[in-house]
Amino acid sequence: MSITYLEAIREAQAKALADDPRVYIYGQDVGAFGGAFKATKNLAKEFPGRVLDAPISEDAIIGSAIGAAIEGMRPIIEMQYADFSTAGFNQIVNHAATLHWRTQIPCPITIRLPSGGTAGSGPFHSQSMEALYATYPGLIVMTPATVEDAYSMLLEAVAIDDPVIFCEHKYLYYHLKAESLPTEAMPTGKARIARAGRDVTIVTYSAMVHEALAMAEELATEDIDVEVVDLRSIKPLDTDTVLASVARTGRLLAVGEAWPWGGVTAEVVSRVATEGFALLDAPPMRLNAKESPVPFHPNLWGTHRPTARSIAIAVRQLLSY
């Protein structure tokens, strides 16, 4: 028996609903229909009155979750696509993110963002928005790369007393499988060494972890030994694990599917440069998507985002310094 990344998200929600009567799910088409991606399949039937369809009103969906959280509930909100969360952006960054700091009242909301690119999805169904949310104090931003993390981190997100932006990658929904659901989990805030290596450190997260791992296997045949660090959550960002890895390899390549300006890769490079300058044998590098909206056609999309191939080129460049 195997379970996909998407099924893990569904199972985590089922467990959250079963374990805690304060949990409910609210979003567009999440009820009887089971969600645009079927992440809430059968949940409305299994948990009557707790998996509820919303009007197409992202501001009201997030705003209502804030009110419900004040009232003691723990809503799980599904944005149909991460891209549409900009229509609820104000409530997320100005209302949910500031509530606890302003009032000491916790705001335990989990906002699920089906994120990232898939072939043929185009500019408005492909975005990686994690950095946008990470810049606001008061939010936690999770970016699970594995089936196990998708499950355990979503459960942790629901349990956390703060608003959590849960960036689940659509490309991994069906591609990624595990044998079973995990019984234990790493805590949020800890990065994971996805592959140990001695020559170069790749720091990445979400779907790019798998591009990096594929690249690492390819380069292993050339006797290049790549270490891959999966950040798991980009806020908080586990600087210690990143620095420890760079201390072993002396070289850093930060990879992200998001756009290049600012963002997670810039943050990683900045932290390593300021806190681990002496550990570096070469200038740190970054690899991101191209500086353009995410293209529709698979030919263009496949070049827009980093891939195992483009990461391998960057690694060779880094090693040639």
Supply 140's token pair: 């936690």
* 100 interacts with other proteins by CB under 8 A: yes
* 196 interacts with other proteins by CB under 8 A: no
* 61 interacts with other proteins by CB under 8 A: yes
Residue in 173, 177, 214 with CA at minimum distance from that of residue 82: 173
**Residue among 95, 125, 169, 304 flagged as catalytic:** 125
Task: State in angstroms the smallest separation of the CB of 120 from other proteins.
Answer: 30
From CA 31, how far away is CA 42, in angstroms rounded?
Answer: 8
Task: State in angstroms the smallest separation of the CB of 241 from other proteins.
Answer: 14
203 versus 224: smaller Cβ distance to other proteins: 203
* 17 interacts with other proteins by CB under 8 A: no
* 55 interacts with other proteins by CB under 8 A: yes
89 versus 296: smaller Cβ distance to other proteins: 89
- Asked if 226 and 220 touch (Cβ cutoff 8 Å), the reply is yes
From CA 47, how far away is CA 53, in angstroms rounded?
Answer: 13
Beta strands, E only, the chain: 3-4, 23-27, 51-53, 74-78, 110-115, 140-142, 164-169, 177-178, 192-195, 200-204, 226-230, 233-235, 252-255, 285-287
* 60 interacts with other proteins by CB under 8 A: yes
* 141 interacts with other proteins by CB under 8 A: no
- Residue 95 a catalytic site member: no
| Torsional class of 113: left (φ above 0), alpha (ψ -120 to 50), beta (otherwise) | beta
Supply 61's token pair: 């969906």
98 versus 307: smaller Cβ distance to other proteins: 98
Piece of 35-43, 89-97, 177-185, 209-217 that binds other proteins (CB under 8 A): 89-97
Q: What is the DSSP string of 196-224?
A: --SSEEEEE-TTHHHHHHHHHHHHHTTT-
Piece of 6-14, 35-43, 61-69, 204-212 that binds other proteins (CB under 8 A): 61-69
* From candidates 43, 51, 76, 97, binder to other proteins by CB under 8 A: 97
* 135 interacts with other proteins by CB under 8 A: no
Task: State in angstroms the smallest separation of the CB of 149 from other proteins.
Answer: 16
* From candidates 42, 57, 270, 292, binder to other proteins by CB under 8 A: 57
From CA 88, how far away is CA 98, in angstroms rounded?
Answer: 15
- Asked if 39 and 10 touch (Cβ cutoff 8 Å), the reply is yes
* 65 interacts with other proteins by CB under 8 A: yes
Q: Count of CB atoms within 10 A of residue 317's CB?
A: 13
Task: State in angstroms the smallest separation of the CB of 234 from other proteins.
Answer: 11
* 225 interacts with other proteins by CB under 8 A: no
Contacts of residue 23, defined as CB under 8 A and 6 or more positions apart, other chains included, come to 16, 17, 50, 73, 74, 75, 76, 158
55 versus 184: smaller Cβ distance to other proteins: 55
From CA 228, how far away is CA 156, in angstroms rounded?
Answer: 24
Residues that bind other proteins (CB under 8 A): 24, 49-50, 54-55, 57-73, 90-91, 94-95, 97-103, 105-108, 137-138, 140, 160-162, 188-189, 235-237, 239
